[in-house]
Amino acid sequence: MISRLKKLKIFLIITLFAFSFNALGLANFALAANSSGVAPSNPVVQQGQKLKEAIEAVEAIKGDLACGVNPSHNLDELDQKVQAINKLDAKVEQELAEIESKLNDLLKNGEISSEILERHRNFVDQYHQKLATLQDTINEIQITPTQELSIQQIDNALQQIKSISPGPKIDILGKEDKLKLPHRRSDISKEGLVSRPTITTGITLPTPEDLTSTIDVQITPEIEDLAGQLGNDPGTIFAYVRNNVDYQPYFGSVKGSVGTYWEKAGNDIDQSSLLIGLFRASEIPARYACGAVELPIVKVMNWVGVEDANVAAEVFSSNGIPSETVTSADGTVTHLLFFHIWVEAYIPKSSARMEYEWVQMNPSFKQYKYYEGIDIPDAMGFNFDTFYNNAVSGATINEPESWFTNLNESNITSDIETYADNLLSWANTNLSDPTVGDVLGYREIEQIKIPQLNNLAQTFPFKTFAPQYELSVIPDHWRYMALFQMYGLDYSTTMPELAGKSLTLSYVPATSYDEELIEYYGGIFNVPAYLVHMKSQLKVEGSIVAEGYGVTLGTYQVFRSNFLRPLGTYWDTNDKQVTTGADYSVSLDQQRISLDLVKKRVDYLKGLIEGLPPTDPATQEMVEEALHITGLSYFAQCDVLSDVAGKTSKVIWTRQPSQAFV
């Protein structure tokens, strides 16, 4: 008997997959990708395909033996495959001879290096060795009487044949025992408050560092334009961040000022970075102030959107924010003590601008108005057991091993469409001009009026606080760090530096000889892959930040992404297998993807396409931008689904920085 909780998990998986696959158009994309290829005319490539077919025939023989079926038919099939390989061998030898003749001519003319000719001769030697091994292995099967064939013998043959398969080899980076699954949350330890000496803030005069751009405080054209639109006025700037940027509970610098600007959401440090960026862009000295603060638990509950005091405290601790609860004599939680970051700005005491002072401001703390949505399951006419039973009709479910296959997609699609129609009909009948918020529920920031200069200090919300740091620049261990590695490639950076930017991995010819050889053959799809070496290039916003070593075209490599959270003690690592010569995007979701950012990138791609003559192929820049947008769009869909699931289930969700490899 499958528990109700596990049924719910299956339901969520079904819904997420069905929605994402159809909404993103991945079905059409996959179909287009699979139908875009043409039958290879190169005998060497054809021989590789023939070998694959021989392997499939041997596997079919193994299946016959496992089921107690006479394998005679598949033995005949294998014989035909081997004959096809032998027949094609003459064409392969002719092709290899022609290639060598061409290479000799190019070498004589100084158009290639002797290394490329050596690559060819090594390949030819390996081909001869592999073909001989294949013949010996197949002969052992064919001369054994059918009734004496064993699964062990077939397994040995398969292992031998696969070892000579022309498939790419993997260059494993490092000596990891296994690759970690990517779909997981890294471990976050619950941090308590650390006792530190308190300081008196606002004593030191501004320094040049209080006006400069940093890793976290990026003063970009967007930030400068926004500061100008806000009149470069301290009160207006503070009210803008306070009233328009949603609070998210997590610890450390993830987005910086630019990412927070695009997402209109962030924690205390990221919202402070945005506020400081706007101040500094307005020539107003500003810096971070940090320390232990205390809030009544009812305000914390409103702030994070929960109705239970213990859950409110858990939201902080489970997201790595150093915190402790304060309880009454009966154990009831009354207050929350936590480490917090806010802003100090050096502003005039009045409009006369005769005297200046450091004023403490906190843009991230705000209270909300909450609006309940409708009872969605009731409005849909949703029956859990009916939906579940329809979904698993005809499916195979293995409860002990926690897997299932062959879900009834037809029933799932039909039921979802019915529920959607019921929900839409209910909303149109019972709501006037309904919005998504009316259905799911929503919250709004309680707005404050733009404070005057002499009232800015009164906006500071903490009655009990203990300042412990004044900082112009955030220390490294308060930032999310990223490290990307491949064979010969090593690039270390911070997450705030990547906020809103494209990160792509592509390949170029390793040497001028490789480039000329590709041109000689009329492009990368025509050149014999084993002759060419390509080197990887990692780019941020189209600019190369790291390069790898030359590797044979078409071979597999491992691209390793490493992430270190603030105050973390170990790197969270994920390995991806990549094909030398292909293009990839490493798309990052640092909390939530901004639809404004996606639109900006789409408009940029449209500009690239519109400026290109119709007969010209897509440029490298267009390919990389399209891949980046695909990753952003995927995460945008995931974030919307998380919002829907969170609101309907009354669950608070927080995304850790995440990577999509496209």
DSSP 80-132: HHHHHHHHHHHHHHHHHHHHHHHHHHHHHTTSS-HHHHHHHHHHHHHHHHHHH
Please give the distance of CA 646 from its chain centroid, rounded to a whole number. Answer: 20
| Mean pLDDT along residues 110-135 | 86
Q: Is pLDDT at 184 greater than 50 in this prediction?
A: yes
- Comparing C-alpha atoms, which of 84, 182, 103 is closest to residue 573? 182
Tokens coding 243: 């009233």
Report helix angle 114-142 to 43-66, nearest 10: 30
Burial (0-12, 13-18, 19+ Cβ within 10 Å), 102: middle
Q: How far is the CA of 386 from the CAs of 241, 375, 408, 575, in angstroms? A: 47, 19, 13, 40
Comparing 126 with 588, which gets the higher pLDDT?
Answer: 588
Span 8-35, pLDDT tens digits: 444 444 443 433 333 333 333 333 333 3
Rounded to an integer, what distance in angstroms lies between the CA atom of residue 198 and that of residue 508? 55
Q: Where are the alpha helices (DSSP H) in 509-653?
A: 512-520, 595-610, 620-649
Percent of the chain with pLDDT over 70: 90
| Mean pLDDT along residues 444-458 | 93
Please tell me the predicted confidence (pLDDT) of residue 30. Answer: 32
Rounded to an integer, what distance in angstroms lies between the CA atom of residue 59 and that of residue 46? 20
Please tell me the predicted confidence (pLDDT) of residue 164. Answer: 64
Through-space distance between the first and last CA atoms of the chain, rounded to whole angstroms: 38
In sign, the C-alpha dihedral spanning 151, 152, 155, 161 is: negative
- Angle (CA) 635-637-638 rounded to 5° is 60
Q: Are 224 and 282 in contact (CB under 8 A)?
A: no
- Comparing C-alpha atoms, which of 58, 119, 45 is closest to residue 88? 45
Tokens coding 442: 């929503």
Please tell me the predicted confidence (pLDDT) of residue 35. Answer: 36
Span 483-524, pLDDT tens digits: 999 989 999 999 999 998 999 999 999 999 999 999 999 998
Please give the distance of CA 236 from its chain centroid, rounded to a whole number. Answer: 35
Comparing 44 with 26, which gets the higher pLDDT?
Answer: 44
Comparing 439 with 239, which gets the higher pLDDT?
Answer: 239
| Mean pLDDT along residues 73-90 | 87
- Comparing C-alpha atoms, which of 372, 371, 370, 366 is closest to residue 266? 366
Q: Are 278 and 461 in contact (CB under 8 A)?
A: no
Q: How far is the CA of 514 from the CAs of 22, 290, 533, in angstroms? A: 41, 55, 6
Q: Is pLDDT at 364 greater than 90 in this prediction?
A: yes
Rounded to an integer, what distance in angstroms lies between the CA atom of residue 152 and that of residue 147? 14
Tokens coding 230: 């806000």
Q: How many CB atoms lie within 10 A of CB 340?
A: 24
SS3 510: coil
Span 538-592, pLDDT tens digits: 999 999 999 999 999 988 899 999 999 998 888 888 888 899 999 999 999 988 8
Residue 186: which pLDDT band, with cuts at 50, 70 and 90?
low
| Mean pLDDT along residues 620-635 | 94
Rounded to an integer, what distance in angstroms lies between the CA atom of residue 247 and that of residue 244? 10
- Angle (CA) 319-462-226 rounded to 5° is 75
Rounded to an integer, what distance in angstroms lies between the CA atom of residue 572 and that of residue 159? 34
Which residues fall within 8 angstroms of residue 546, CB to CB, at 6 or more apart? 484, 489, 490, 491, 537, 538
Q: What is the mean pLDDT of the chain?
A: 86
Q: How many CB atoms lie within 10 A of CB 482?
A: 22
Q: Torsion angle of alpha carbons 100, 102, 105, 109, nearest 10°?
A: -120
Please tell me the predicted confidence (pLDDT) of residue 175. Answer: 46
Q: Is pLDDT at 38 greater than 50 in this prediction?
A: no
- Angle (CA) 646-647-651 rounded to 5° is 45
Rounded to an integer, what distance in angstroms lies between the CA atom of residue 549 and that of residue 52? 30
Q: Which amino acid is it at 651?
A: V
For the ranges 68-77, 158-167, 299-308, the lowest mean pLDDT is seen at 158-167
Q: Is pLDDT at 212 greater than 60 in this prediction?
A: yes
Please tell me the predicted confidence (pLDDT) of residue 440. Answer: 86
Residue 190: which pLDDT band, with cuts at 50, 70 and 90?
confident
Tokens coding 465: 């606080």
Residue 477: which pLDDT band, with cuts at 50, 70 and 90?
very high
Q: Is pLDDT at 628 greater than 90 in this prediction?
A: yes
Of all helices (H) and strands (E), which one includes residue 573?
strand 572-579
Q: How far is the CA of 214 from the CAs of 206, 344, 524, 563, in angstroms? A: 16, 16, 42, 21
Q: How many helices (H) and strands (E) does the chain have?
A: 20, 21
- Comparing C-alpha atoms, which of 225, 204, 449, 451 is closest to residue 351? 451
Across 35-39, 372-376, 393-397, which has the greatest mean pLDDT? 393-397
Q: Where are the alpha helices (DSSP H) in 451-511?
A: 495-498
Tokens coding 553: 């075209």
Phi first, then psi: what are they for 160, rounded to 5°? -70, -45
Residue 287: which pLDDT band, with cuts at 50, 70 and 90?
very high
